[in-house]
Amino acid sequence: MRDKHSRSRKLWSALAYTRLARDVETSIKKAIRSASNVLPRPQARTSPAIPSKYKNQRSKGFASKKEAKRYQELRMLNLAGKIADLQTQVPFRIEINGVLVCKYIADFTYRERAMQIVEDCKGYRTAIYRLKAKLMRAVHGITIRES
């Protein structure tokens, strides 16, 4: 015959185990919180110690020197009246059947002879860029001009 109190002993031991586990978990969380206050925070990726993957250097708020130089050229053309409505970093939503697939951010958009031009300064054509360029042509009917 089983002991009457064996079931209650098992319940009490299970309860004690869960309390112990909870106490250990709480102490680990406290240790992590206190350690995060002591450890230095990671630096932002704009640090000059981390070189760019494609060796471009930020210039005057633009992603590369080439892009900054092209902006100066387009600005002069805009002032001369050869182009109009010059804008930088214009986002385009690429949606198919009402589902957002991705976004493409053009370096420059402007009007030249009543045509809307979307331009991107590229030093290296990545696979993602080539895919987004094809999607822009297929979805919006816009061919991206590369400089």
Q: What is the pLDDT of residues 57-78, one digit of tens each?
A: 665 667 778 888 889 999 999 9
Stretches in the chain below the pLDDT threshold 50: 42, 44
Same domain assignment for residues 80 and 126:
yes
Same domain, 36 and 70: no
Domain total in the chain = 2
d(CA 18, CA 12): 10
Instruction: State residue 2's pLDDT score.
Output: 58
- The reply to whether 74 and 123 lie within a common domain is yes
Angstrom distance (rounded) from CA 87 to CA 32: 47
Residues in Cβ contact with 100 at an 8 Å cutoff, skipping those fewer than 6 apart? 93, 94
Distance in angstroms (rounded) separating the CA atoms of residues 139 and 94: 7
114 shares a domain with 70: yes
CA–CA distance, 128 with 111 (Å, rounded to integer): 26
Backbone angles phi, psi at 62, to 5 degrees: -100, 160
83 and 33 both lie in a single domain: no
Residue 115: give the domain boundaries.
Answer: 65-146
Shared domain for 70 and 135, answered yes or no, is yes
| 29 HSE (CA, 13 A, CB side) | 6
Do the domain assignments include residue 51? no
pTM above 0.95, yes or no: no
Say whether both 141 and 88 belong to one domain: yes
**Do the domain assignments include residue 48?**
no
Domain membership flag for residue 46: no
